[in-house]
């Protein structure tokens, strides 16, 4: 991966500082607090790193620009000092076509992400790989879990092998012990050494998909089981048992309901007798009321007749009086023709002056007839009076009887109504209770059947997860067998081991002897040094800080050598901030000499195409026969990075 | 009824108790002197005391012709049209 720095430009508040880099070795040396390390940090900042805000940087720096050749492109990286997450990337290809994009450093969420360039360039890292014409491998986002998704290896992960910063130089800038970044670092090593193939990549992607699918199913099954457990549902068999129990209870209740309804329709006959009594009573009452009306009618008729007879009696009395008064008045004219009667000459005194008949015989019968009529009338009036009295007595009795019957009927009516009401209320209450129980049980049964469906779904998920597990095992076996085929990559790793040992011996790292074994663990990618006697050690347990620094630097040089020789995708850039950290140049002069001699030799032989940026306190001049380019820059607090700044 | 009145009228005239005079379309019936005497005798008789009292009452307060008297009674007491014989008015 061809990456060559050209210039670094600092836009400060009062000046514009430009630093040119040698195409091979740029050696920056000088006193402390001159801004040597800041140059490294600013380069790293332009490649997406974080910037340590020294007082000078935070007060004076406005923006920083880095011109760099990446692949076949001339690239300008611009970043605002305060810019958090974006880098303006402008580039020109071989045909001098210029393009520019504002590249984000971090990927947005998958839903929001849109390509910033082409079809699959989403962020700064993608763009650097694109400009270098390299396709990065896909790695797991997290190696802690097999379920982690695959993502592209980030350019930042690779930069750990290109920028050995001072702070981590005596521990591990490779971060191989870092819980999270160590995994990325291992991916970077796999990427450099070619310890992967397309086939393995495909298998890993499929494994990733299968793992995720399986995990999803297991998680879904687990969640549903937890949910069911939390809501008090037991085992599937218990649910079946509960449903059976509920169905049995339902059968019993429905039988009760049927029986209850039948009993109700039959039980209403208990009022039949009462109804019969009422019917008879109604008929009797109707008959008695008819009699009462007859009696009234008869009394009325007889009273009228009695009145007429009494009137007749008065008329008879008047007739008697009038007859006696008018008896003395004689006819003077004929009542038929009106002719005057001549009574003196022809009519005798004992004869009628109208017809001439004798009067004696008729008058004897006349008086008894009037008396007979009067007696007859009296007799009739008395009879009627007696009859009316009897009828009135009968009427009084009849009224009482009708009243009694009416009361009886009203009482029976009320009783019938009350009994029917009471019976209906009792029936309804009972029926409702049964209905309620049935509804409750049916609802419960329905719920449990739905829960059973959930159990079936869980079972299905678990079965599918089991099948996926088989596929996982199969895929892992395939990946293992694929790894076996990685002969070339293995050779690269062995080469690194050899170069590393050579480097350590050349520098004269204390405690390392030619008989020691150097071995890179293929799983952890930690380079171990095993002495003939005693335990092995690596970066972390090497003891001395100075020794740790040398182990780190030698390892970086070994990796870069092998990647350059084999044409592996490592950036052709190696920045080492203070390789002599913790090593006094005066006290350990031999090591100081040996290291830089080894560095220059390496740069002259295997790392001819690698650009070095070295920062150190002392300058070690290259050997006279060194044919490469070395540009040394001296810096001091009086000639600092920001020319006008005179701060702390 | 007409023949009864006629018969009664003939009897009263035959006994010289009443006399009949015709003036145009009006027939006037009046008592003779003998008729007035007999009437006074009847008026004193116990059986006719009530009748006499009612006749005087009518003559004093309702001295109107028969047809008008009938209409007056039916208008004043309409219920009598549907009353049975012997039933008391205002009961």
Distance of alpha carbon A481 from alpha carbon A489, whole angstroms: 14
Taking the Cβ of residue B39 and every Cβ of chain A, the question of whether any pair is shorter than 8 Å is answered with no
- Angle CA A480–A484–A487, to nearest 5: 150
Which helix (H) or strand (E) segment holds residue A296: the answer is helix A272-326
- Residues A559-613: tens digit of each pLDDT: 999 888 888 888 999 999 888 877 776 778 888 888 899 999 999 988 989 999 9
Q: What is the pLDDT of residue A523?
A: 67
Alpha helices in A508-631 (DSSP H): 545-566, 589-604
- Beta carbons of A329 and B38 less than 8 Å apart: yes
Residue B14 has its nearest CB partner, among A300, A307, A332, at A332
Question: Considering CB atoms only, which of A303, A325, A336 is closest to B45?
Answer: A325
For testing the chain A interface, which of B5, B9, B14, B17 should be mutated: the one with the most A CBs within 10 Å?
A: B14
- CB within 8 Å: B17 and A322: no
Burial classification of residue A105, based on how many CB atoms lie within 10 Å of its CB (0-12 exposed, 13-18 middle, 19 or more buried): buried
From chain A, the residues in CB contact with B47 under 8 A are 314, 317-318, 320-322
> What pLDDT is stored for residue A643 in this prediction?
82
> Measured between CB atoms, does A333 come within 8 Å of chain B?
yes
B91 touches chain A (CB under 8 A): no
C-beta of residue A206 within 8 angstroms of C-beta of residue A475: yes
DSSP letters along A433-490, please?
Answer: HHHHHHHHHHHHHHHHHHHHHHHHHHHHHHHHHHHHHHHHHHHHHHHHHHHHT-HHHH
- A532 in a structural domain: no
Task: Check: CB of residue A631 under 8 Å from CB of residue A28.
Answer: no
Counting residues of chain A whose pLDDT is more than 70, the rounded percentage is: 88
* Interface touch A332/B86, C-beta < 8 Å: no
- Set of chain B residues whose Cβ sits within 8 Å of the Cβ of A333: 13-14, 16
Secondary structure (3-state) at A103: strand
CA A52 to chain centre: 43
Q: Give residue-wise pLDDT tens across range A66-113.
A: 999 999 999 999 998 886 688 999 999 888 889 998 888 877 665 567
* Interchain contact B45–A (C-beta under 8 A): yes
Establish if A318 touches chain B: CB-CB under 8 angstroms.
yes
Q: Do A331 and B14 touch (CB under 8 A)?
A: yes
Beta strands A611-616 and A16-20 are unpaired
Burial class of A61 by CB neighbour count within 10 A (0 to 12, 13 to 18, 19+): buried
Q: How far from chain centre, in Å, is Cα A626?
A: 70
Please indicate if any CB of chain B lies within 8 Å of the CB of A340. Answer: no
Q: Smallest CA–CA separation between B35 and chain A, in Å?
A: 10
Give, in order, the Cα–Cα distances in Å from A133 to each of A47, A136, A571: 17, 10, 12
Interface of B with A in 48-87 (CB under 8 A): 48, 51, 84-87
Q: How many CB atoms lie within 10 A of CB A179?
A: 10
Q: Best mutation site among B12, B41, B47 for testing chain A: the one with the most A CBs within 10 Å?
A: B47
Residue A17 phi, psi dihedral angles, 5° rounding: -100, 130
Query: Which residue(s) pair with A20 in the sheet?
Result: A7
Cβ-contact A224, A454 below 8 angstroms: yes
Q: What is the C-alpha separation between A100 and A90, in angstroms, rounded?
A: 4
pLDDT at A402 over 60: yes
Cα–Cα dist B37/B45, whole Å: 13
- Non-local (6+) Cβ contacts of A101 within 8 A are A88, A89, A116, A117, A127
Lookup: tokens for A333: 């004219």
HEC string for A186-199: HHHHHHHHCCCCHH
**Domain housing A577:** 1-132+571-648
- Shortest CB distance from B86 goes to which of A303, A320, A338? A303
A227 touches chain B (CB under 8 A): no
Residue corresponding to tokens 């609802």 = A443
Tell me whether residue A81 is in a domain: yes
A330 CB near a chain B CB, below 8 Å?
A: yes
Q: Are A334 and B42 in contact (CB < 8 Å)?
A: no
Q: Does B35 touch chain A (CB under 8 A)?
A: no
B20 touches chain A (CB under 8 A): no
Q: Tell me, yes or no, whether A242 lies in a domain.
A: no
Number of structural domains found in chain A:
1
Does residue A361 belong to any structural domain of this protein? no
How far is residue A537's CA from residue A533's CA, in Å, rounded to a whole number? 12
Lowest mean pLDDT among A208-212, A384-388, B67-71, B81-85: B81-85
Interatomic CA distance for residues B68 and B75, integer angstroms: 10
- Give the C-alpha separation, A335 to A337, whole Å: 6
Taking residues A121-129, what's their average pLDDT?
Answer: 86
A308, A320, A326 member nearest B38 (Cβ): A326
pTM: 0.52
**What is the mean predicted confidence (pLDDT) over A39-67?**
88
Q: Which two tokens stand for residue A452?
A: 């059973």
CATH classification of the domain holding A77:
3.40.50
Residue B22, classed as helix, strand or coil, is strand
Q: Check pLDDT > 90 for residue A532.
A: no
The pLDDT-based confidence of A51 (bands split at 50, 70, 90) is: confident
In three-state secondary structure terms, A588 is: coil
* pLDDT of res. A610: 92
What's the token pair of residue A408?
């009886």
The string of DSSP letters for A25-71 reads EEEEEE-TTSSHHHHHHHHHHHTT------HHHHHHEEEEEEEEEET
Phi, psi of A563, rounded to the nearest 5 degrees: -65, -35
Top mean pLDDT of A229-233, A263-267, A630-634 is at A630-634
Surface-to-core class of residue A596, CB atoms within 10 Å of its CB (0-12 exposed, 13-18 middle, 19+ buried): buried
Question: How are beta strands A16-20 and A3-12 bridged, if at all?
Answer: antiparallel
Q: For residue A325, which residues of chain B lie inside 8 Å, CB to CB?
A: 38, 41-42, 45
Q: Which residues of B touch A374 (CB under 8 A)?
A: none
Range with the poorest average pLDDT among A176-180, A374-378, A615-619: A176-180
Q: Calculate the dihedral angle through the C-alpha atoms of A134, A135, A136, A140, rounding to the nearest 10 degrees.
A: 180
| pLDDT at position B3 | 44
Q: For strands B26-31 and B18-23, give the pairing.
A: antiparallel
Flag the least confident range among A210-214, A441-445, A497-501, A556-560: A210-214
Min distance B23 CA to chain A CA atoms (Å): 20
Average pLDDT over residues B32-36: 92
pLDDT confidence of residue A231: 81
Interface check A352 vs B, CB under 8 A: no
Q: Is residue A21 part of a domain?
A: yes
Query: Taking residues B54-78, what's their average pLDDT?
Result: 85
Instruction: Identify all chain B residues contacting A330, using CB atoms and an 8 Å cutoff.
Output: 15
| Confidence check: pLDDT of A248 > 60 | yes
Q: Is residue B46 within 8 angstroms of chain A, CB to CB?
A: yes
Q: Is A345 on the interface with B (CB under 8 A)?
A: no
Q: Please tell me the distance from the alpha carbon of residue A248 to that of residue A600, in angstroms, as a whole number.
A: 93
Pairwise CA distance, residues A459 & A150, whole Å: 29
User: A235 Cβ partners below 8 Å, 6+ apart?
Assistant: none
- Smallest Cβ distance to B47: which of A300, A308, A317? A317
Give the model's confidence band at A54: pLDDT under 50 very low, under 70 low, under 90 confident, else very high. Answer: confident
Contact criterion met (CB < 8 Å) for B45 and A338: no
**Among A405, A447, A577, which residue's Cα sits nearest to residue A35?**
A577
Q: Do B48 and A335 touch (CB under 8 A)?
A: no
Work out the average pLDDT over A291-317: 89
* A308 part of contact set with chain B, CB < 8 Å: yes
Q: Would residue A233 count as lying in a domain? A: no
Run of H or E residues at A515? none
Residue A97, SS3 per DSSP: coil
- Mapped onto helix, strand or coil, the DSSP state of residue A212 is helix
- Residue A496 included in any domain: no
Q: Is residue A295 part of a domain?
A: no
Q: In this complex, is the C-beta atom of B19 within 8 Å of any C-beta atom belonging to chain A?
A: no
Q: Which residues pair with A633 in a beta bridge?
A: A28
């Amino acid at each position: 991966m061809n990456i060559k720095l050209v210039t670094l430009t600092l836009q400060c508040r009062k000046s514009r500082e430009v630093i040119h880099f040698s195409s091979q070795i740029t050696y920056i040396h000088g006193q402390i607090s001159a801004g040597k390390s800041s140059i490294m940090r600013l380069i790293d900042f332009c490649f997406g790193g974080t910037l340590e805000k020294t007082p000078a940087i935070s007060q004076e720096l406005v923006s920083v620009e880095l011109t760099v050749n990446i692949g076949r492109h001339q690239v300008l990286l611009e970043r605002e000092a305060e810019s958090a997450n974006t880098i303006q990337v402008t580039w020109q290809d071989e045909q001098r076509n210029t393009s520019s994009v504002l590249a984000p450093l971090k990927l947005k969420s998958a839903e929001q992400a849109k390509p910033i360039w082409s079809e699959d360039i989403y962020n700064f890292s993608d763009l650097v790989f694109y400009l270098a014409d390299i396709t990065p491998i896909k790695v797991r986002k997290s190696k802690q879990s097999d379920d982690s998704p695959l993502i592209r290896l980030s350019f930042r992960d690779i930069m750990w092998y290109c920028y050995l910063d001072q702070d981590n130089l005596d521990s591990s800038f490779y971060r191989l012990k870092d819980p999270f970044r160590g995994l990325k670092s291992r991916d970077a090593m796999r990427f450099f050494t070619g310890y992967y193939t397309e086939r393995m990549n495909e298998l890993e992607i499929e494994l990733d998909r299968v793992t995720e699918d399986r995990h999803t199913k297991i998680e879904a099954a687990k969640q549903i089981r937890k949910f069911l457990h939390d809501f008090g549902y037991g085992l599937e068999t218990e649910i079946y048992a509960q449903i059976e129990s509920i169905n049995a209870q339902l059968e019993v209740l429905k039988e009760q309901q049927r029986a209850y309804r039948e009993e109700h329709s039959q039980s209403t006959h208990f009022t039949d007798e009462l109804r019969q009594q009422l019917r008879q009573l109604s008929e009797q009452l109707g008959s008695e009321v008819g009699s009462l009306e007859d009696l009234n009618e008869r009394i009325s008729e007889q009273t009228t007749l009695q009145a007429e007879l009494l009137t007749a009696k008065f008329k008879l009395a008047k007739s008697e009086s009038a007859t006696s008064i008018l008896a003395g008045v004689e006819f003077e004219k004929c009542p038929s023709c009106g002719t005057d009667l001549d009574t003196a000459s022809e009519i005798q005194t004992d004869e009628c002056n109208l017809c001439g008949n004798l009067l004696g015989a008729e008058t004897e019968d006349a008086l008894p007839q009037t008396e007979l009529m009067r007696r007859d009338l009296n007799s009739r009036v008395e009879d009627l009076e007696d009859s009316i009295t009897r009828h009135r007595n009968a009427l009084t009795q009849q009224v009482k009887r009708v009243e009694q019957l009416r009361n009886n009927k009203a009482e029976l009516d009320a009783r019938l109504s009350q009994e029917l009401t009471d019976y209906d209320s009792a029936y309804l209450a009972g029926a409702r209770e049964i209905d309620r129980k049935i509804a409750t049980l049916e609802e419960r049964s329905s719920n449990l059947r739905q829960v059973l469906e959930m159990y079936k779904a869980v079972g299905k998920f678990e079965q599918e997860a089991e099948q996926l597990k088989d596929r996982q095992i199969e895929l892992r076996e395939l990946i293992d067998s694929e790894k076996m085929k990685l002969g070339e990559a293995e050779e690269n790793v062995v080469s690194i081991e050899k170069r590393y040992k050579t480097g350590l011996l050349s520098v004269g790292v204390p405690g390392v002897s030619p008989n020691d074994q150097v071995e890179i663990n293929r799983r952890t990618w930690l380079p171990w040094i095993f002495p003939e006697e005693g335990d092995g050690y690596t970066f972390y347990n090497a003891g001395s800080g100075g020794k740790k620094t040398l182990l780190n630097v030698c390892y970086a040089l070994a990796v870069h050598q092998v990647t350059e020789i084999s044409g592996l995708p490592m950036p052709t850039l190696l920045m080492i901030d203070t390789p002599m950290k913790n090593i006094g140049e005066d006290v350990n002069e031999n090591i100081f000499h040996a290291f830089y001699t080894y560095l220059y030799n390496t740069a002259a032989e295997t790392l001819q195409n690698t650009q070095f940026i070295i920062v150190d306190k002392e300058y070690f001049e290259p050997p006279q026969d060194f044919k490469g380019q070395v540009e040394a820059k001296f810096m001091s607090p009086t000639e600092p990075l920001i020319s006008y700044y005179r701060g702390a | 009824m007409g023949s009864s009145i006629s018969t009664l009228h003939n009897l009263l005239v035959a006994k010289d108790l009443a006399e009949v005079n015709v003036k145009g379309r009006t027939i006037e019936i009046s008592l003779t002197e003998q008729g007035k005497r007999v009437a006074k005798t009847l008026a004193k008789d116990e059986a006719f005391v009530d009748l006499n009292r009612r006749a005087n009452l009518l003559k004093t307060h309702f001295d109107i012709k028969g047809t008008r008297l009938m209409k007056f009674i039916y208008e004043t007491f309409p219920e009598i049209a549907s009353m049975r014989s012997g039933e008391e008015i205002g009961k």
